[in-house]
Structure 1
Amino acid sequence: MFCYQCEQTAKGTGCTVQGVCGKQPDVAALQDLLIYSLMGLSQVAVEGRKHGVTDSDVNVFTVKASFSTLTNVDFDADRFVELIGQAVEKRDQLKAKVKNAGGNLASLNKAAHFIPEKTMEGLLTQAEAVGLKSYPADNPDILSLKHTVLFGIKGVSAYADHAQILGQEDDSVYAYVHEGLAALQRTDMDTAQWVDMALKCGGAAVKAMELLDRGNTETYGHPVPTQVPLGHKKGKAILISGHDLQDLDALLKQAEGKGINIYTHGEMLPTHGYPKLKQYGHFYGHYGTAWQNQIKEFPNFPGPILMTTNCIQRPKNEYKDTIFTSGLVGWPGVTHIADQNFKPLIDAALAMPGFEDDADKGEVTVGFAHNAVLGVADKVIEAVKGKAIRHFFLVAGCDGAKPGRNYYTEFVEKVPEDCVVLTLACGKFRFFDKKLGDIGGIPRLLDVGQCNDAYSAIQIASALANAFGMGVNELPLSLIISWYEQKAVCVLLALLHLGMKGIRLGPSLPAFLTPNVLDTLVKNFDIKPIGTADEDLRAILG
């Protein structure tokens, strides 16, 4: 196997024995083969669009299947065998439609004619020939950019899948995903064209996040500032982690009146700010701290755990029996709930001891998405003009267990008292409970939401730039970004697509960026690695 799509990849170069995330070589191989199958399907889809042929089932399947290969989503080899078969079946069905419309199928790459073997051994043999290093490229820089585009597409697919579940779609997103996946087999594009393809991925990411924002807010209301307890109540309990609001909504409805309190973990924390979710009386608080502590924290939770979307490394055997997964998430030996019927999860909660007492561990405030912040924009603008607020820092992104991430905690702790910190995604769990106070009633630590709520941060920055009559890059705003997996890649590409400059990225730079590609990012966007908290603050603030 060879995989280097996440920040924690082995030795900073690539996992070759098994994934640091727990992914086994057979799963890695089948994921590579699924992506190859999607390249072939995408070639047919691209040809189809030239002749007015689109297929909504193919669109939805492509992003869902691509999403399944994202870090910490699916570790179940059998499910990838099913997805590979479905990709080929849908490709051949689409071929018939495209051919009838006058499409030229003979010109397509061999990926569009791939036939999977019928045995696991045969599939694994086929996979050996189509891994990341097999993509045709004239030089390492083009291969690097192809991988950047692929990983960005995986992130876009995650957001597009979430949005589609909530009824929000845009064909431009599907069209880009197909265009990008199909292009991975092309040999006629130079480095500049691949840079453009990567920035185009950023455009698709912005649209996908906009769709998801619309789906979330139209379904559950605009988030409002909400105080969330970090302790617990005596009684039965369920912990939900991940990102999926619809799963949470379904669980809250089904558990209502059963004497079970629902606690969030990880990126589910911001859901407490949504009006239609916070109305449930048994939706209590947040349990746990940073991502890197999940393995330690989960065995101490006295109830079952529901994992939605990617959110944790492979669970340890000693507590597999208390974990349930939903949606695309899957691990061998863990109960999977595919239809949002959470009765098995609820029954498990009723059978487990729950918390024996009440515990007050303080609280945090969430709900500062774009609608809430822009609602007090006049106060923010006045504070900036009056020099009460000197600078804004967006300290956001992923968390992880690899050393070096304490930088983000130290950075936030050392931000001067006349500066405001906006944060989003699971990286905030390094510092989300810090008491930074306020500036004229404006909290100095504003939790904007989940990783997809980078869209909210963009809207806030754009509105402030318009109010001050300047470009976004002229604002007293600095972006301090941490990355771990492919959604972070697509968010970074989104920021670059929007022309954001001066981003500081860490804790280490992606292994898939060659020196020449990194040099291009530095020259065009002034992107730079993080240093120390003191050095970076001095450089930014003077």
Structure 2
Amino acid sequence: MFCNQCEQAANGTGCNISGVCGKKPDVAALQDHLLYGLKSLALYAVKLGRNAEIDRFTIEGLFSTVTNVDFEAARIGDLIKRCYELKEKAKTAAGVTITGPVADWKPADDLAGMVAQGEAHGLSTLHVNEDIRSVIEILTLGLKGMAAYMDHAMILGKTDDEVMAFFQKALAATTDANLGLMDFVGLSMECGKQNLTVMGLLNTAHTDAYGHPVPTQVQLGTKAGKAILVSGHDLKMMEEILKQTEGKGVNVYTHGEMLPAHGYPGLKKYSHLVGNYGGAWQDQAKEFANFPGAIIFNTNCIQKPAESYTDRLYTWGLVAWPGVKHIDGWDFTPVINKALECPALPENPGQEILTGFGHNAVLGVADKVIAAVKSGAIKHFFLVGGCDGAKSGRNYYTEFAEKAPKDTVILTLACGKYRFNKLEFGDIGGIPRLLDVGQCNDAYSAIQIAVALAGAFECGVNDLPLSMVLSWYEQKAVVILLTLFHLGIKNIKLGPTLPAFITPNVLNFLVENFNVGPITTVDADMKAMLG
């Protein structure tokens, strides 16, 4: 195997024995095989035009290959078989003949054969030129990240024909030997543009269903009673858990990226949504061992479970781990029954933290923010957000938040905020100095805040007293970065390390065009940002 798609790639280059995430070589090969099959399907989907079944499968197939989603070999094998069925169906419906090994792809009949085929379709086969291969990989990882966001939007009934056409066009393009470096640079920038549309769709899906987030205090302690802990991003799944547990004596807690659910009126109305338990995804093994209730994952956050809680652990949607019980569909009765069988949590109140500062909430007090900037009460804004992870160097973000001057405001989103969201930052004229914008899925809100401020001050986003200090881990962060590039946003600091899939020449291109750079030391970076 060889996988370098996440920030924890072994030795800073790639995992070649077993994934740091827990992915085994057979699963890695099957995911490579599935991606190859999706490219084959795309060749015919481009000719066929919009087909809801093919489009939906493409999203699910791509999302299944994102880091920390599907670790179950048999499930991926089933996806490969389904991909071939859809490819043959599209081939017949399109009525065209396409020649070449990708178009002619056919999976083996058994899992071992599919693994062997997958081993022949690894990253090294993308292109002979390492720089072109690097940009193809950036595009591919961007498509994976965008598929994750689109999956959530589709679950809530939102889609977009232009975006879906781009998925197929871009996947097909990765097989075209006639395309060069700048062709794939252009496609990557277009991926960022399309992702802005997707994030807008997802924002609309969330707010249509649950209302705009409002600033909300979230309890970090526990309430006496039976409990379910929900980890992930999918709000529809959270809503169903809340509906089905209402009146049954089961309290519901959020974990990781589900924390911002507390800010949505349509979810916070449930009195048994009682708090947030634990921190970011990488701490789950030690935290879940101390949570006596049922636990369920719904998106890309799972890691190898400890035996101490495997018997009360569940997965849902596209998430899967060998030996862990999986919930198909929307009936969560097994999870609820398990929660009722488990010991109750104690009454143990704890600290409260604020969430719910989506763009609607922030822009609702824009006049106060603008006045504070004009008066000099607010000197600078920092967007300190992104993915958290276990690799060393992420204490940088804690130190950065701690050292941010008291006349600055910190916007944050995604699970990287767990590095500092329990610290006390105070306020500036009633405006909290730490504004939790939400999940990584809510990056659209952060962009809207920046654009609105630029409009108010009649300048470009790059001219605002705003600095972006981002942490990345997986493919959703990659596509958000492409969206920021599409918007022309420059001077981004990225860490804790730079992606292993970016070659020196590609990095030089990004530096020259966007002045993106690695984090260094907090003191040096902050001095440069504050001038």
Q: 1:225 aligns with which of 215, 219, 243?
A: 215
Alpha-carbon deviation of 1:185? 1.1
- Equivalent position of 2:119 in the other structure: 128
The residue type paired with residue 17 of structure 1 is I
Which residue is equivalent to 1:486? 475
- One-letter amino acid of the structure 1 residue matched with residue 122 of structure 2: G
Q: CA deviation at 1:334?
A: 0.4
How many angstroms does 1:133 deviate by? 1.2
Contact 1:291 1:429 in 2 (8 A): no
Equivalent residue for 2:46? Answer: 46
- Matched with 1:145 is 135
Q: How does 1:412-451 map to 2 (within 5 A)?
A: 412-451=401-440
Residue 196 (structure 1) aligns with: 186
Shift of 1:179: 1.3
Identity percentage of aligned residues = 56
**Which residue of the partner structure matches residue 408 of structure 1?**
397
| Residue 211 (structure 2) pairs with residue 215 (structure 1) | no
Counterpart secondary structure, 1:448: strand
How far residue 138 of structure 1 moved from its aligned partner, in angstroms, is 4.2
The range that moved more, 512-521 or 175-184, is 175-184
Q: State how far apart, in whole Å, the 1-side matches of 2:78 and 2:283 are.
A: 33
- Contact residue 195 and residue 480 of structure 2 kept, 8 A: yes
Distance 1:294 1:117 in 2: 37
1:408 maps to a residue whose letter is Y
Counterpart for residue 333 of structure 1: 323
Aligned partners of 2:307, 2:39: CA distance in 1, in Å?
A: 35
**1:139 & 1:78 partners in 2: Cα distance?**
34
What residue identity is the alignment partner of 1:416?
A: P
What is the identity, as a one-letter code, of the residue corresponding to 1:380? Answer: V
Structure 1-normalised TM-score? 0.97
The yes-or-no answer on 1:474 pairing with 2:463 is yes
Which residue among 433, 444, 455 is the counterpart of 2:444?
Answer: 455
| Mapped partners of 1:479, 1:504: distance in 2 | 6
1:29 matched residue in structure 2: 29
Residues 248-268 of structure 1: per-residue CA shift (max 9 Å, x gap): 100001001111110000000
Is 1:170 the counterpart of 2:160 in the alignment?
yes
Correspondence 1:293-308 to 2 at 5 A: 293-308=283-298
Contact 2:256–2:278, Cα closer than 8 Å, also in 1: yes
Cα shift readout 1:438-489 (whole Å, capped 9, x = no counterpart) = 1111100000000011100000111111111101110110000000000000
Q: Distance in 1 between matches of 2:280 and 2:523?
A: 23
- Return the letter of the residue paired with 2:92: A
The correspondence for 2:149, drawn from 145, 152, 159, is: 159
Q: AA paired with 2:52? A: S
Q: How does 1:246-285 map to 2 (within 5 A)?
A: 246-285=236-275
Contact map agreement 1:152 1:493 (CA 8 A) in 2: yes
Q: How does 1:511-522 map to 2 (within 5 A)?
A: 511-522=500-511
Equivalent position of 2:61 in the other structure:
65
Q: Which residue of 1 aligns with 2:486?
A: 497
Quote the residue 1:56 is aligned against.
52
SS at match of 1:268: helix
> Secondary structure of the residue that 1:237 maps to in structure 2?
strand
Counterpart of 2:107 in structure 1 is 116
Contact 1:109 1:185 in 2 (8 A): no
In 2, distance between residues paired with 1:214 and 1:117?
42
Q: What's the CA shift string for 1:107-139, capped at 9, x where partnerless?
A: x5421221111012211221121111111x241
SS at 2:300's partner residue? coil
Aligned residue in 1 for 2:3: 3
Q: More displaced, 315-324 or 399-408? A: 315-324
Q: Please state whether the residue corresponding to 1:261 is helix, strand or coil.
A: strand
- SS of aligned partner of 2:311: helix
Separation in 2, partners of 1:536, 1:354: 47
- Which string of whole-angstrom CA distances, capped at 9 and with x for unpartnered residues, describes residues 160-189 of structure 1? 111011011001211111111111111112
Contact kept in structure 1, 2:218 and 2:354, CA below 8 Å: yes
What is the CA deviation profile of residues 380-423 of structure 1, one whole-angstrom value per residue up to 9, with x for unaligned ones? 11111111110000001000000000000000000000000000
**Cα deviation, residue 508, structure 1:** 0.1
The residue that corresponds to 2:517 in the other structure is: 528
Inter-partner Cα distance in structure 2 for 1:417 and 1:406: 20
Whether the aligned pair in 2 keeps the contact of 1:141 and 1:514 (CA below 8 Å) is yes
Show the counterpart of 1:348.
338
**In the aligned structure 2, how far is the partner of 1:9 from the partner of 1:109?**
33
Q: Which moved more, 1:307-316 or 1:392-401?
A: 307-316
Is the 2:9–2:20 contact (alpha carbons within 8 Å) kept by the matching residues of 1? yes
- The gaps in structure 1 that reach 5 residues or longer are none
| CA drift at 1:314 | 2.1
In the other structure, the counterpart of 1:95 is 91
1:290 equivalent in structure 2: 280
Per-residue displacement from partner, 1:325-353 (whole Å, max 9, x unpaired)? 11100111101001121111011111111
> In the alignment, which residue of structure 2 is the partner of 1:395?
384
| Contact 2:289-2:306 at 8 Å conserved across structures | no
Amino acid at match of 2:91: K
Cα deviations by residue, 1:71-92 (Å, 9 ceiling, x for unpaired) = 0000011111111111111111
TM-score (norm: length of structure 2):
0.99
Once residues 21 and 266 of structure 2 are traced to their aligned partners in structure 1, the CA distance between those partners, rounded to angstroms, is 34
Residue 14 of structure 1 corresponds to 14
Contact 1:72 1:314 in 2 (8 A): no
CA distance in 1, matches of 2:255, 2:490: 32
Contact 1:44 / 1:105 at 8 angstroms: preserved in 2?
no
1:77 matched residue in structure 2:
73
The CA distance in 2 between the partners of 1:387 and 1:312, in whole Å, is 44
